[in-house]
Amino acid sequence: MRHQPVRLLILGGSSEASALARALAGKSDVAPILSLAGRTLTPLLPPIPHRIGGFGGIDGLVDYLRHNRIDAMIDATHPFAARMSAHAAAASVGSGLPLATFTRRPWRPKPTDRWTTVTSLDEAALSLGSTQKRVFVTSGRLGLAAFLAAPQHHYLIRTIDPPAPADVPPDNRVILARGPFPVNQEIDLLRAERIDVLVTKNSGGGASFDKLLAARALALPVILIAPPSRESGLVLHDLAAALAWIEAQRGTP
Ligand code: NAP
């Protein structure tokens, strides 16, 4: 059993990472540091030490782990952050440090849901079809340029930070807002905007499922972008399991 606090690097940018940070705040047996990529212009800062910005690839991450005497890593990045996850897996192998992934399960449709799963934003844009539609897009501000290939549609785009103007298809309305968005509010929005179809990422978890509940309530079709596959390894799906894994790291030399 180690006497020093476990020096834990949390790769963040997700609600799981934020929940873990809140749970670890004030604990004396863990010295956590939350790492954020710096994509969000006004991130919600955690109640634990944090750093912002890329590491400079796998080698940069390995250097960071060594220089900061990190004992263990938790990959709590968003399910779509495939590159950071791959880097964490490679750095864990390279440095011999324990790594666990703390993430959510993807959403699953009910038999009556009208969900179409695609593997990319390009495929999502294509699957909207040629007939003009009113499309609600909540896939994030990056990658919106995929919809330039389908300019016949009207797009209602909701993002936290403004998208690059050049990425946005011509017939659009952009809403800048940070969730959560309760289901009744989502239903009102879908109705008021006369939305025909929702396009979103299958990010899983509870926080942003309400838009899918709203689409379900209105029997609207949904185009869901599937998450990229991740490296296998230890995957934890709830906070208690993540905390137990961190606790177990105290027993390792
Ligand atoms: P990505 O493609 O997997 O990562 C690209 C690069 O960004 C990484 O190689 C790394 O740079 C840096 N990076 C990513 N996460 C980092 C972190 N937690 N700390 C330090 N550097 C990080 O990631 P992404 O899809 O662009 O997402 C960026 C961040 O936004 C992630 O932290 C993710 O959790 C969060 N996020 C992503 C989405 C999404 O849909 N993709 C949605 C919500 C939140 P270096 O190679 O220089 O180390």
The series of mean pLDDT values per 10 residues for the chain, 253 residues long, is 87 95 96 94 90 97 97 96 96 95 95 97 98 97 97 97 97 96 98 98 91 98 94 90 95 66
What atom of ligand 1 comes closest to residue 35's alpha carbon? 19
Taking the centre of ligand 1 as the mean of its atom positions, its distance from the CA of residue 13, in whole angstroms, is 7
Nearest protein CA to atom 42 of ligand 1, as residue: 78
pLDDT of residue 206: 82
Residue of 48, 84, 101 to test ligand 1 pocket, by largest number of atoms within 8 Å of CB:
84
Q: Is the CB of 208 under 6 A from ligand 1?
A: no
How far is it, in rounded angstroms, from Cα 54 to Cα 162?
21
Helix (H, G, I), strand (E, B) or coil at 125: helix
Tokens (6 digits) for 50: 């944090």
Q: Is the Cα dihedral 186, 188, 189, 195 positive or negative?
A: positive
Whole-model pTM: value is 0.89
Taking the centre of ligand 1 as the mean of its atom positions, its distance from the CA of residue 53, in whole angstroms, is 9
How far is it, in rounded angstroms, from Cα 103 to Cα 205?
8
pLDDT of residue 252: 64
How far is it, in rounded angstroms, from Cα 207 to Cα 15?
8
Helix (H) or strand (E) holding 161, with range, is none
CB 75 within 8 A of CB 99: yes
pLDDT of residue 118: 98
Nearest protein CA to atom 6 of ligand 1, as residue: 84
Measured CA to CA in angstroms, residue 63 lies from 134, 162, 231 at distances of 48, 34, 21
Tokens (6 digits) for 196: 């025909």
Q: Is the CB of 80 under 6 A from ligand 1?
A: yes
What atom of ligand 1 comes closest to residue 14's alpha carbon? 34
Q: Is the Cα dihedral 22, 24, 27, 33 positive or negative?
A: negative
pLDDT of residue 148: 98
Taking the centre of ligand 1 as the mean of its atom positions, its distance from the CA of residue 36, in whole angstroms, is 8
What atom of ligand 1 comes closest to residue 56's alpha carbon? 47
Tokens (6 digits) for 93: 């192998």
pLDDT of residue 95: 93
pLDDT of residue 2: 66
Q: Is the CB of 82 under 6 A from ligand 1?
A: yes
